[in-house]
């Protein structure tokens, strides 16, 4: 029975553990992490699926397409199934507004609908003066407050184990596991001394605005995303900023730009504010590595650095990581 440790309990670690279980039913799979649920970046993410190739820089387009395609199938199957209320996936109509035209964005190949808006349509929603281009898009929003617990339950129900601890050095795991899958996101900066991964700080405000049932996403950094009873508004994108505290200036800026974008938001009570650090790396690291320590060798599969599209491509990258794990165990890998 192969012994596998998955490091990380964000959307990437949980998805990867579940994918490995599907391909290796008899494996012993332990998720090891120092943060779970609401303490992870994944928990507070927007969960909107509109990935583009430029959001996954440094990775060949065909590979990004495969990750997006596999992820879209998974999320769409959940969205259209009787599980949707448990998994937190909803079919979500919305507007993508921009001043540079979208040219064959990757998500357009998958979403339920994608149509360019006419000037007349932009005018009807008072956007013509603000944005030159608009697209009506029906996609999927994943509510991570539901999706992460559901993945956790799948892992546990499949016989998986969860261990709460911080790994300071991968050599702690030599001899105990046949393969270690590293899904530590930004944690890889310290754990592997990987200077390529850095933070792209985000801040959002949750408003009690249960009458809003559509999303709006713009290319100038303002967006609103609806869930059961709240709407998340954002956003902030600050490279190399590691501040996890809510910043008042950012809060003011988010309110100003989102209220200007969509006046119906004004007057809605603030429920919560949240900061998350997007684990950003060029390229996203999804590969196998044999690491040699004085105490022995460790077979590692890395799956981290998903930036601002980690939810949208989580399932596809987890299938890829699971395949690498299986190859290593079956000695097909060049390791
Ligand atoms: C404001 C904001 C909005 C976003 N909106 C969207 C969106 O709409 N759509 C989308 O697709 N993506 C979105 N994202 C991006 C998405 O949230 C991330 O890409 C994704 O959550 C990354 O998941 P992860 O599992 O890699 O990281 P995390 O969720 O950060 O999980 C990392 C895990 O690794 C563990 N860990 C780290 N180091 C160690 C260690 N040394 N030992 C043990 N455990 C360790 C942590 O405890 C944690 O469990 C958004 C992000 C932000 C901040």
Residue 156 lies in a domain: yes
State the average pLDDT over residues 210-220.
96
Residue nearest to atom 14 of ligand 1 (CA): 308
Residue 333 has pLDDT above 60, yes or no: no
Cα 66 to ligand 1 centroid, rounded to whole Å: 21
Ligand 1 site, residue 47, Cβ cutoff 6 A:
yes
Rounded distance between C-alpha atoms, residue 140 and residue 183, angstroms = 24
Q: Is residue 335 part of a domain?
A: no
Beta strands in 78-186 (DSSP E): 89-98, 113-116, 133-142, 161-164, 179-182
pLDDT for position 180: 98
- 325 CA to centre of ligand 1 in angstroms: 21
What is residue 41's predicted lDDT score, i.e. its pLDDT?
98
Using the mean position of ligand 1's atoms as its centre, give its distance from the Cα of residue 313 in Å.
12
Q: Does 33 sit in the ligand 1 pocket, CB within 6 Å?
A: yes
CB 278 within 8 A of CB 235: no
Instruction: Find out whether the beta carbon of 305 lies less than 6 Å from any atom of ligand 1.
Output: no
Substitution candidate for ligand 1 out of 278, 285, 286, 303 with most atoms within 8 A of CB: 278
Task: Specify if 334 maps to a domain.
Answer: no
Please tell me the predicted confidence (pLDDT) of residue 258: 97
Which atom of ligand 1 lies at the shortest distance from residue 236's CA? 1
Nearest to 241 by CA among 285, 284, 200: 200
169 — pLDDT class (breaks 50, 70, 90): very high
At residue 226, the pLDDT reads 97
CA of 41 to the centre of ligand 1 (A): 4
pLDDT above 70 coverage of the chain, percent: 99
Contacts of 252 (CB under 8 A, 6+ apart): none
Residue 182 corresponds to which tokens in the numbers above? 């590293």
Atom of ligand 1 nearest to the CA of 200: 53
d(CA 200, CA 278): 5
Question: Is it true that the peptide bond before 280 is cis, omega within 30 degrees of 0?
Answer: no
Say if residue 332's pLDDT is above 70: no
200 closest CA partner among 242, 228, 149: 242
Average pLDDT over residues 10-38: 98
Q: Is 301 in the pocket of ligand 1 (CB under 6 A)?
A: no
| Distance from residue 201's CA to the centre of ligand 1 (Å) | 11
Q: Is residue 311 a contact partner of residue 151, using CB atoms and an 8 Å limit?
A: no
Residue 70 lies in a domain: yes
Residue 278 C-alpha to ligand 1 middle, in angstroms? 6
The confidence band for 334, taking pLDDT boundaries of 50, 70 and 90, is: low
Rounded to the nearest angstrom, the gap between the alpha carbon of residue 332 and the centroid of all alpha carbons in its chain is 30
**Is 303 a member of any domain?**
yes
Regarding the beta carbon of 316 and ligand 1, being less than 6 Å apart is answered no
Domain extent, residue 192, equals 3-329
Q: How far is the CA of 11 from the centre of ligand 1 (A)?
A: 7
Rounded to whole angstroms, the Cα distance separating 142 from 175 reads: 38
Q: Is the CB of 235 under 6 A from ligand 1?
A: yes
Q: Whose CA is nearest to atom 52 of ligand 1?
A: 45
Ligand 1 pocket residue status of 312, Cβ below 6 Å: yes
pLDDT above 70: residue 2: yes
State the chain's mean pLDDT as an integer. Answer: 97
pLDDT, tens digit, for every residue of 135-146? 999 999 999 999
* Beta pairing, strands 296-306 & 269-293: antiparallel
**43-79 per-position pLDDT tens digit:** 999 999 999 999 999 999 999 999 999 999 999 999 9
Q: Given pLDDT bands bounded at 50, 70 and 90, which one contains residue 331?
A: confident
pLDDT of 335 above 70: no
Query: How many domains in the chain?
Result: 1
Does the beta carbon of 202 lie inside 6 Å of ligand 1? yes
Tens digits of residue pLDDT in 121-161? 999 999 999 999 999 999 999 999 999 999 999 999 999 99
pLDDT, tens digit (0-9, with 9 covering 90-100), for 298-325 = 999 999 999 999 999 999 999 999 999 9
Domain with residue 133: its CATH number is 3.40.50.720
* Burial (0-12, 13-18, 19+ Cβ within 10 Å), 59: middle
């Amino acid at each position: 029975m192969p012994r596998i440790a998955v490091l990380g309990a964000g959307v990437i670690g949980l998805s990867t553990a579940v994918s490995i279980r599907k391909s290796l039913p008899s494996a012993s799979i332990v998720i090891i992490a120092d943060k779970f649920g609401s303490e992870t970046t994944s928990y507070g993410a927007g969960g909107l699926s509109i990935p583009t190739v430029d959001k996954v820089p440094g990775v060949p387009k065909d590979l990004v397409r495969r990750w997006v395609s596999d992820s879209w199938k998974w999320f769409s199957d959940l969205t259209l199934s009787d599980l949707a209320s448990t998994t937190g996936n909803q079919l979500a109509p919305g507007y993508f507004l921009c001043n540079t035209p979208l040219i064959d964005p990757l998500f357009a190949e998958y979403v339920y609908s994608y149509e360019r808006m006419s000037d007349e349509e932009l005018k009807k929603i008072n956007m013509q003066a603000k944005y030159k281009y608009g697209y009506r898009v029906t996609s999927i929003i994943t509510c991570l407050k539901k999706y992460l617990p559901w993945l956790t339950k799948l892992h546990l129900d499949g016989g998986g184990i969860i261990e709460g601890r911080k790994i300071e050095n991968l050599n702690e795991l030599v001899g105990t596991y046949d393969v270690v899958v590293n899904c530590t996101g930004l944690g890889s900066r310290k754990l592997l001394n990987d200077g390529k991964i850095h933070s792209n700080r985000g801040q959002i405000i949750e408003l009690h605005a249960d009458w809003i049932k559509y999303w709006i996403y713009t290319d100038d950094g303002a967006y609103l995303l609806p869930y059961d009873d709240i709407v998340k508004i954002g956003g902030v994108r600050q490279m190399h900023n590691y501040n996890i505290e809510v910043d008042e200036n950012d809060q003011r800026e988010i309110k100003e730009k989102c209220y200007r974008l969509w006046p119906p938001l004004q007057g809605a009570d603030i429920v919560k504010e949240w900061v998350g650090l997007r684990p950003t790396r060029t390229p996203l690291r999804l590969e196998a590595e044999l690491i040699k320590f004085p105490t022995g060798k460790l077979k590692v599969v890395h799956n981290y650095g998903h930036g601002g599209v980690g939810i949208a491509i989580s399932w596809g990258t987890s299938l890829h990581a699971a395949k690498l794990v299986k190859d290593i165990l079956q000695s097909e890998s060049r390791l």
